[in-house]
Amino acid sequence: MAEGSSPVYTARGPVDDENWTAVADALNERMRRRRVGQQRLAELSGVSVSTVRLVQSGAPGRRVQNKTLEALARALDWPDDHLIGLLLADAPAPTPDDAGTDDPVLAGIERIERRLDGLARQLASVERLAERAAGGRHG
């Protein structure tokens, strides 16, 4: 696979070595514990609400890219590869929420950095939309 390309996974339940049930269970539990709804997770991750629902349910027949799973993981303060690890039945390392953190200040800074990354992605998206709209008026 070329460097920088993102494999595509199919959300159709445990097929081959993919464990979509584990992904859905982990995502739903984390959302519940953090009191984050579908809309809010979509906003934080830059992923559509319908895709959040898809991953939550492991619905068959749809395709989900690595970058989507990474964005969802980041939005929930997990390492980028956490959901991919669950999907592929790897044993992900414990996260600070799961294992406790030695330094709550560092954990807080990490959460702020992730949130800033999400806001930067959202701003870039709004800027692209504004550029397209401005181009349509002048063209």
Sign of the alpha-carbon dihedral angle for 14, 33, 53, 92: negative
Non-local CB neighbours of 86 within 8 Å, separated by 6+ positions: 19, 22, 23, 26, 92
1 part of a folded domain: no
- Do the domain assignments include residue 2? no
Name the residue range of residue 15's domain: 8-138
Query: 123 in a domain, yes or no?
Result: yes
Question: Is the overall model pTM greater than 0.85, yes or no?
Answer: no
3 found inside a domain = no
User: CATH no. for residue 71?
Assistant: 1.10.260.40
The residue-averaged pLDDT of 3-19 equals: 54
| Number of compact structural domains in the chain | 1
pLDDT digits (tens, 9 = 90+) for 72-121: 999 999 998 888 888 886 544 445 454 445 677 777 777 777 677 667 77
